[in-house]
Structure 1
Amino acid sequence: MSTLLLSLARENPWPGLAVASLNLMVALFLVGVSLLLGIAISLLACVHALVDREPPALADAGKRRAVA
């Protein structure tokens, strides 16, 4: 079977080029999806950190004004 595939590849290189280009497109797609997921996760983490912060206490704010 492998000799049949090799003989076909020697005569016509187009199927091999098609598979290589498809492989390249899939690889680029996966890289793009991973980048988008990384950006989305980092944005969600940043928003979560901003929302989860506790506001400063009012007593602390009065002390800061008196010192300044």
Structure 2
Amino acid sequence: MSSLFLALARENPWPGIALAPLNLIVAVSLVGVSLLLGITISVLAWVHALADRAPAPVRHAANRRGFA
């Protein structure tokens, strides 16, 4: 059975040519999903780093002025 299929595939290239656009669509969609996942993870890590930071102490202008 498989030898018959290979013989047909060798003689007729159209099934392989017909599947080429499908392979391209799958490849581009996988690249898009991986880019989206990478961007999502980096944004989440950035937000997490912002949330973990300790707030800077607030200095009042009156405390910074020297005595006149």
Q: TM-score range by the shorter chain?
A: 0.5 to 0.7
Between Structure 1 and Structure 2, the one with more helix by share is 1
Aligned partner of 2:42 in structure 1 is 42
1:1-68 matches, cutoff 5 A = 1-58=1-58, 61=59, 65=64
> Where does structure 1 lack aligned partners over 5 or more consecutive residues?
none
Identity percentage over the alignment?
68
Give unpaired runs (5+ residues) of structure 2.
none
Runs of 4+ in 1 over 3 A off after TM superposition: none
Partner of 2:50, secondary structure, is helix
Which structure has the larger Rg over C-alpha atoms? Answer: 2
Q: TM-score w.r.t. structure 1 length? A: 0.67
Aligned length in residues:
62
Q: RMSD of the alignment, in Å?
A: 2.0
Three-state SS of the structure 2 residue aligned to 1:9 is: helix
CA distance in 2, matches of 1:10, 1:45: 51
Q: Deviations over 1:9-36 (max 9, x none)?
A: 2443221112232222211111110000
Deviation at residue 8 of structure 1 after TM alignment:
1.7
